[in-house]
Each structure stands twice: as structure tokens, then as C-alpha cells.
Amino acid sequence: MPKPDLQELPSTAASPAPTPRDTTRRAPGKRHPDSLKGTLLKVVLLGLVDAFAVYVLMMLFLSQSWAALAVSAVVVLAINWIYLRKGGLPAKYLAPGVLFLLVFQVLVVVFSGYIAFTNYGDGHNSTKEDAISAIQLTAQKRVPDSLAYKASVLTKGNDFYLLFTDPSGKAQIGSTEQPLSEATAAGKDSTGKATSLPGYQTLKFQEIVANQQEILKITVPVSGDPADGTLRTADGSTAYQFKPALDYDAATDTFKDTETGTEYRDNGKGAFADANGETLATGWKIDVGMDNFTRAFTDPSLRGPLLGVIIWTFTFSIASVALTFVMGLFLAITFNREDLRGKKAYRILMILPYAFPAFLSGLVWSGILNPEFGWLNQTLLGGANIGWLTDPVLAKISVLVVNVWLGFPYMFLVCTGALQSLPSEIDEAARMDGASAWRVFRSIKLPLLLVSVAPLLISSFAFNFNNFNVIYMLTGGGPRFADTDRDIGSTDILITLVYKVAFGQGTGRDYGLASALAIIIFIIVATISAISFKQTKALEDVN
């Protein structure tokens, strides 16, 4: 659909002398005026973008994220400048894509680099102040002989509230997010217990039973200060006061256990620790320098497995490229005959694995290869119990076979294309000179083929280096290494390890270590691509 011009023409050397027809619309030598429709469209679009930007800036202002506010303001100004000024046409076409590229590809990599030097992760995800109040809130003990409050459970929207009646008959309401406040409008039953409040729904007994888990979690702060303690209920009808079991002393920056008297001090590693080095579960985020990297290569529970993973990552990606290429090339040669019957049918059937979604292939194969119930053991091998996915060596072979299944059609297509583009005279000339078919292939066709296919082999290597789906869907990285308590296994490659360290179940999330591993992958990939780009001279094509 042709659109009216949003901008005027670029003042390139190619702009022609105005024709007589043109002069009726504009004065000679002057620039193309913006048409009304184009200007209008531009103003509307830019206005929408700016309206959204103002909303974002306001939200950032309210949440007091000054750095983000400053950066966003600069970006908004830059966008307006690009689209409102005369000229600068390339920027107008490049800006949207580049903006996304900068934020979600470049910025996030820089951000990974920063996280790699922190202890960001479970138990270390906020500031020290947040950690102190979180410790006070979570380490709670029931105050001995505390008053028993009568409690009712109310809801408003999706949130649960507790309505308390203290022994003197005063009604107060609160929730986990909202500290206790007086509820004078509360309706009371015959025993004097407050049971309802306008605007809230009172839960019946069955509903309390059904929502037991959520109700147990409600901890109503007595006031805005966490040191004052909280109110909780165990049964939905009586509540008791709880106070922090750990007392924070701001002057000495220490926590003191109210029962045992143990003192916990800031250990300089983002946590409070006692004299024996025992730390409290909640810590805060600090910069740890190279700690994550040194830990990766010195921590005994990480060093061995990580080395194994790095070696396997290389083995896996090189073997995958080599095997798929050899198989693809062999098939391409086999079917490079015009007069072969059924050639089309073979071709379609053979590229089916490539069309099948990659994440599903791993899952489907995991069913076929399942040691206990899988088709291969049960049906083909008559009830054998071979650990296709549970034996360290067999699991690696299985992963490779599945990856070959996924990848050979691509290489088949690529090699077929490359073979057909080779001039046929070469073949004839060599045959005339008495070369055998094998000799023609080895000395003439293969070198020529490699020249055109080499860049694809390199990008295939880079792809397999981070081929998350096959590994994660087929084996999940398993079988696990025996010499570590971490979730690392013999078929894990670096990227699945990053994912498991950052988001895995069981062991806590450790974003710092995961980012450090990602940075290692980054460096490896960058080195390899730098070398390969030099070799293939791909860059020379860019003029």
C-alpha cells in the first residue's frame, strides 16, 4: 500500500532537476513539501509514542528510579529529535529496530556482565535495609503468654484480611501488606467477636478449610516497624502476637538471638554470620569482584563438573557439525542424480525432521529411548534394560544421534544446493584425464564445496554450542555427576548449566554464578567467531 510521504526526499546527489510538472507543485530548487496526510500521520504516530513515553517517565518518577528515568528521558528526546528534524533519513529507518537491539540484546549482555560480579540470587536479591526488615519479619516467635485475639478471615478482591478482636473488645483489621488499623464499623456476633466489615466478605468455615495454606501465610504487622512484631492465626479463629526472634541493633549493626544470645554480624559477603560462620538465610546483594569466576574454577563441587561440561560442550558441537555434515553430504551425493526414481519423495520424507518443531523432537525421542518404558528397549529389543538416557556414555551417544536426526536434513539441503552449483565441466575434465570418481570427489569437489559451505558450518557450530532444546528436552542434562551435590550431569552443555543454575528447582537460584558462566560462553563464542570471520573473509562481502 503506497503511503504519502512522511519525510521529504533525501538531498542526495541523485535528486533530479525539477521537471515542468514539478514546478506546478513546488518552487524550483526548493525541497519537496510534506503532504498534509503524511505530516498528520507522522504527528499522530509520534504523539502516541510520546504519550506512552510520558506515562513511562511518570511511573519511573513515582517509583524513584532516577537512573532509569534519566536514560529513558534521553531515549525519548533522541527519538523525537530523529523524527522531527529535517534530513537524517537513514536514522528514521533504523531507529525502531536499533532501539530494541540496544535494549534487549546489547544492554542485557552488559547487564549480565554486571551481575556476574555480584552475589545476586536467592537470599541475595535486594538491599541491606530490605534484608534486615525481611529477617525481622521471617524469624518470628510467638510472644510467651501473649494475648489471644479472636480472629475472622475476610476477603476483598483476591486478598485475604484478618479481622481481630482484642480481649477488651476493640476490632482491628489488617493483611500481610497492610498493617493493623482500627475497624470501628465492624459488625459483632453474640460473643462480642467482630465477624464482618462493610466492603469485605467473611469466609465460612468450609472456605477457611479450603484456603488453609493462604490463611496460614497471613502475617499482619502490628505497625510499620517490623520490630513491633506481627499477628498470625493458626486456625482462622484465634490469633497470637509474634515478635522477631532476632533483635536488630542499628548502632552495632548486629542481630542478636533473643533466646540463645548468639550475635550475627555483617560478614562482608552480603549476609549476617555468627562467630562460627553460620549465616542467616536472608542476605543482600553486594559486588563480589571475580568471586563467581574463581568459585567456578576452584570450588570442588563445581570445578570438576564444570570442566567436564566445557569439554562435552565442545565435543557435542564439533561432533554434531561433523556428523550432520558427513551424513548430509553423503545423502546429497547419493541423490544427486537426475534420473533416480522417487527422488522427490525421498527428499520430502528426509527433510521432515527439520520441519518438526525442535523442542518437541527432544521430548518425543526421550519417550522412544526411555530406559524403563521406551519403545526401543521394550519393543525393538524385547524388554532389554539398556540405559539409553541414564548411562553417562550412552546418554551422550543418544544426544548425538538425536541431534543428527534433527540436523542432517539441513546439511542435506545445503550440500545439495552447493553440489548443484558446481560446474559440471570440472567433473568431465577430470574424468577425461583418468581420475576415478573418488579422486574427483576428494581432490576437486570437496574443496570447492567446503569453500561455499564453510561459513554455514561455522554458524552451525555456534548454533550447536548453545543448542539448549535438544539437551534439556532429551536428558535434562542427566545422568547427574556423582561427585557433586549440584544439579549437573554428563550431557549438560554450558547453556543448560546456566539455565539450571539460574532457574533450576531444588538448589537455590544463583544469578551471579549463572551470569559468570554466560560470560564464559560469550568469550568462547566471541573468540571462535573472530577467528572464523578472519578465515572465511566473510566480511569482505560487505561493501
Partner 1 sequence: MSVRTLTRGKETASDGVHPPLAPKRRPFGVWFRDKGWRHVVGILTTIFAVFPLLYVLSAALDSNGTLVGSNGLFSRFDAGNFVALFSDPSRPFGRWFVNTLVVGLVTSAATVFLGAMAAYAFSRMRFKGRRMGLLTLLLLQMFPQLLAVVAIFLLLSGISQVIPALGLGSQLGLIMVYLGGALGVNTYLMYGFFNTVPQSLDEAAKIDGASHVQIFFGIILRLVTPILAVVGLLAFIGISSEFVIASVVLTDPDSQTLAVGLYSYVAQQRSENWGVFAAGAVIAAIPVMALFLFLQKYIVSGLTAGSVKG
Interactions with partner 1, residue window 487-516 (CB under 8 A): 495, 498-499, 502-503, 511, 514-515
Q: How far apart are CA 502 and CA 524, in angstroms?
A: 20
> Closer CB to partner 1, residue 4 or residue 192?
4
Which residues from 238-297 bind partner 1, rule CB under 8 A? Answer: none
Residue labelled with grid coordinates 541414564 = 390
Looking at 9-17, 78-86, 162-170, 209-217, which segment touches partner 1 (CB under 8 A)?
9-17
End-to-end CA distance of the chain: 31
Shortest distance, CB of residue 53 to partner 1, whole angstroms? 11
Q: Is 6 in the site for partner 1 (CB under 8 A)?
A: yes
Which residues from 454-473 bind partner 1, rule CB under 8 A? Answer: 455-456, 459-460, 462-463, 466-469, 472-473
Burial (CB < 10 A; 0-12, 13-18, 19+), residue 379, is exposed
Q: Which three cell numbers stand for residue 119?
A: 552475589
Q: How far apart are CA 517 and CA 438, in angstroms?
A: 45
* Residue from 176, 320, 366, 398 binding partner 1 (CB under 8 A): 366
* Residue from 54, 70, 143, 340 binding partner 1 (CB under 8 A): 340
Q: How far apart are CA 366 and CA 385, in angstroms?
A: 15
Q: Is 7 in the site for partner 1 (CB under 8 A)?
A: yes
> Closer CB to partner 1, residue 55 or residue 81?
55
**Secondary structure (DSSP) of 344-387:** HHHHHHHTHHHHS-HHHHHHHHHHHH-TTT-HIIIIISSS----
Q: Coil, strand or helix: which one is 256?
A: strand
> Closer CB to partner 1, residue 240 or residue 522?
522
Compute, in degrees rounded to 10, the torsion defined by CA atoms 390, 394, 400, 405. Answer: -80
Q: Which three cell numbers stand for residue 237?
A: 479463629
Size of the site for partner 1 (CB under 8 A): 121
Which residues from 59-78 bind partner 1, rule CB under 8 A? Answer: 59-60, 63, 65, 68
Q: Is 475 in the site for partner 1 (CB under 8 A)?
A: no
* Residue from 372, 424, 425, 447 binding partner 1 (CB under 8 A): 372
Shortest distance, CB of residue 120 to partner 1, whole angstroms? 7
Please tell me the total number of residues recorded for the chain in this structure: 543
Shortest distance, CB of residue 171 to partner 1, whole angstroms? 33
> Closer CB to partner 1, residue 229 or residue 283?
283
Q: How far apart are CA 295 and CA 176, in angstroms?
A: 38
Q: How far apart are CA 302 and CA 510, in angstroms?
A: 13
Shortest distance, CB of residue 332 to partner 1, whole angstroms? 11
In contact, 350 and 412? CB cutoff 8 Å? yes
In contact, 30 and 60? CB cutoff 8 Å? no
> Closer CB to partner 1, residue 304 or residue 479?
479
Shortest distance, CB of residue 354 to partner 1, whole angstroms? 7
In contact, 531 and 140? CB cutoff 8 Å? no
Which residues from 344-363 bind partner 1, rule CB under 8 A? Answer: 346, 348-361, 363
What are the angstrom distances between the C-alpha of 278 and each of 128, 231, 392? 18, 29, 36
Give the closest residue to 147 by CA, choosing from 168, 162, 174, 163.
168
> Closer CB to partner 1, residue 24 or residue 276?
24
Which residues from 80-119 bind partner 1, rule CB under 8 A? Answer: 89-90, 93-94, 96-98, 100-101, 103-109, 111-112, 115
> Closer CB to partner 1, residue 112 or residue 254?
112
* Residue from 23, 181, 334, 507 binding partner 1 (CB under 8 A): 334
CB-based contacts of 189, cutoff 8 Å, min separation 6: 195
> Closer CB to partner 1, residue 1 or residue 275?
1
> Closer CB to partner 1, residue 200 or residue 487?
487
Q: How far apart are CA 141 and CA 241, in angstroms?
A: 9
Give the closest residue to 452 by CA, choosing from 278, 325, 285.
325
Q: Is 543 in the site for partner 1 (CB under 8 A)?
A: yes
Q: Is 322 in the site for partner 1 (CB under 8 A)?
A: no
Looking at 51-59, 159-167, 248-256, 312-320, which segment touches partner 1 (CB under 8 A)?
51-59
Which residues from 14-43 bind partner 1, rule CB under 8 A? Answer: 14-16, 19, 21-22, 25, 32, 38
Q: Is 310 in the site for partner 1 (CB under 8 A)?
A: no
Looking at 7-15, 158-166, 390-398, 427-435, which segment touches partner 1 (CB under 8 A)?
7-15
**Cβ atoms < 10 Å from Cβ of 402:** 24
Which residues from 398-427 bind partner 1, rule CB under 8 A? Answer: 405, 409-410, 413-414, 417-418
Q: Taking phi first (over 0 means left), then psi (-120 to 50 degrees means alpha), and beta for anything else, what does residue 268 get?
A: left
Cα four-point dihedral sign 14, 18, 24, 28? positive
Give the closest residue to 330 by CA, choosing from 462, 449, 430, 426.
449
Shortest distance, CB of residue 183 to partner 1, whole angstroms? 30
Q: Is 529 in the site for partner 1 (CB under 8 A)?
A: yes
Looking at 159-167, 198-206, 391-399, 453-461, which segment touches partner 1 (CB under 8 A)?
453-461
Q: How far apart are CA 309 and CA 319, in angstroms?
A: 15
What is the enclosing helix (H) or strand (E) of 265? strand 263-266
**x-marked contacts with partner 1 along 221-240 as a string, rule CB under 8 A:** --------------------
In contact, 183 and 193? CB cutoff 8 Å? no
Q: Is 324 in the site for partner 1 (CB under 8 A)?
A: no
Shortest distance, CB of residue 175 to partner 1, whole angstroms? 20
**Cβ atoms < 10 Å from Cβ of 403:** 27
> Closer CB to partner 1, residue 259 or residue 372?
372
Shortest distance, CB of residue 376 to partner 1, whole angstroms? 9
